[in-house]
Amino acid sequence: MSEHLIAAIVLAAGKGTRMKSALPKVLHNIAGQPMVRHVLDAVEPLAPAETLVVVGPDMDNVAAAVQPAKTVIQEDQAGTGDAVRVAVEAMSTRTGTVLVLFGGDPLIRTETVSRLIAARQAGASVVVLGFRAGDPTGYGRLILDEGGALEAIVEDKDASENQRAIDLCNAGVMAIDAACIEDLLARIGNDNAKGEYYLTDIVGLARNDGLNCSVVTADEDELMGVDSRADLARAEGLWQAARRRRAMDEGVTLLDPDTVYFSHDTILGADVIVGPNVVFGPGVEVGNNVEIRAFCHVEGAKISEGALIGPYARLRPGTEIGKDVHIGNFVELKNTTMAPGAKANHLAYVGDSEVGAKANIGAGTITCNYDGFEKHKTIIGDGAFIGSNSALVAPVTIGKSAIVGAGSTIARNVAADALAIERSKQIDLAGRAKAFREDKAAAKAAKKKG
């Protein structure tokens, strides 16, 4: 039904000068994802008919980051009212609810936006999202009438002493009846110190028209806006704390929760154990009954059921860990598939490789996958055993159940069940170690006398 249509407008034109960065504010990451994408992700489950992101001139990087959402350019950047007007002019939705959100509010939740929409659909023409502030100084106050409806938004600098005592503050996010938004926006003035058009003025205009305005509240932390690097760090901390709680609620054991860092898209199975100081980058999926020990870094990797990872392991993008695989301390994998039961327990680099089921990679092994120009592949067959301190010069294939002797540099394919050894001949000089020490001691003594 048309009254239930939703259009979302995300304001993302601000340069974020307090960030002191060439990167637009909304592109700074929380949990490995730009802040503006967190806002879009919060809206997506509500299935908006259209989503428009307002950007400033020369913000092609923001436009690229928000695809497939449509972008519109706010040329003059004359305030939030002007930004919404630019978006509404480009919007096809003319019935239902228009959401206005901010690209620098990365912690806002779908549930909160849904309550905002419900209040609008219940009959309010304008619904404002508010919060009870621990310290309301600097925030616009939401003034309610005797019946609990929103009467006005008063900025801190314009508030009376009694109004400053109010702790119900404006978060900026709104849900507005699409049928009246154009008219309200057209009547916003710019008679203020900055000469800007403020979206908050539509509340007074709507009230003067006899329209109903209301407030929906949420937690202050959820509605925090990020305007500085300090804000960014605080938002990251709040996001991580919430994600840790969710992980534990879903059956994950975090041995030292405060030291584990998740990405926005981390997927964890049941009965996963995560040790201290583990970092998950983007693109990680972990199956059931996996243990990831301390000081591991995992990014772009899939880990199957029963695997044991770490401590001090690094799994880079393109890595797929099969069932019951063991990856031990100081092992690095990149773009590599480890079949079920394979092991690399100590100090190895395996890149651009396929490692067969129950193969064993010894300590100090490296796959020499890069020749300075191109990457090449190493294939290690099922049940193969790679001795310690071996170098496998790709492209190379080690056959099923083959053995590579410790200390070998293998540059040719090894057949199945073969033993490959590549070493220089060992030479033993009887008594030479003793003579060497005696010669050195005599020379040192002579030097002291001299």
Domain covering 249-420: architecture: 3 Solenoid (2.160)
What is the distance, to the nearest Å, from the Cα of residue 125 to the centroid of all Cα atoms in its chain? 36
Q: Read off the pTM.
A: 0.91
Instruction: Tell which residue, 63, 48, 60, has the closest CA to residue 9.
Output: 48
For the domain made up of 2-217, the CATH class stated in words is: alpha beta
Q: How far apart (Å, rounded) are the C-alpha atoms in residues 66 and 429?
A: 70
Tokens of 46: 């509500």
**Which amino acid is located at 314 in the chain?**
R
> With the C-alpha atoms ordered 19, 23, 29, 35, is the resulting torsion angle positive or negative?
positive
Angle among Cα 87, 29, 39 to the nearest 5 degrees reads 35
Instruction: Tell which residue, 142, 173, 153, has the closest CA to residue 9.
Output: 173
Tokens of 72: 């519109």
Confirm whether 2-217 and 249-420 share one CATH topology. Answer: no
Q: How far apart (Å, rounded) are the C-alpha atoms in residues 133 and 68?
A: 35
Q: Where exactly are the structural domains of the chain?
A: 2-217, 249-420
Q: How far apart (Å, rounded) are the C-alpha atoms in residues 301 and 309?
A: 12
Could you give phi then psi for residue 83, rounded to 5 degrees?
Answer: -60, -45
Q: Which residues of 151-160 are buried (b: 16+ CB within 10 A; e: fewer)?
A: bbbbeeeebe
Catalytic residue among 38, 264, 326, 346: 346
Cβ contacts of residue 218 below 8 Å, gap of 6+? 108, 109, 112, 115, 129, 130, 131, 171
| Terminal alpha carbon distance of the chain | 103
User: Is 346 known to be catalytic?
Assistant: yes
3-state SS class at 169: strand
Q: What is the pLDDT along the chain (450 residues), one digit of tens a residue?
A: 466 899 999 999 988 788 899 999 999 999 999 999 999 999 999 999 999 999 999 899 999 999 999 999 998 888 999 999 999 999 998 899 999 999 999 999 999 999 999 999 999 999 999 999 999 998 999 999 988 999 999 988 888 889 999 999 999 999 999 999 999 999 998 887 778 899 999 999 999 999 999 999 999 999 999 999 999 999 999 999 999 999 999 999 999 999 999 999 999 999 999 999 999 999 999 999 999 999 999 999 999 999 999 999 999 999 999 999 999 999 999 999 999 999 999 999 999 999 999 999 999 999 999 999 999 999 999 999 999 999 999 999 999 999 999 999 999 999 999 999 998 888 999 999 999 999 999 999 988 887
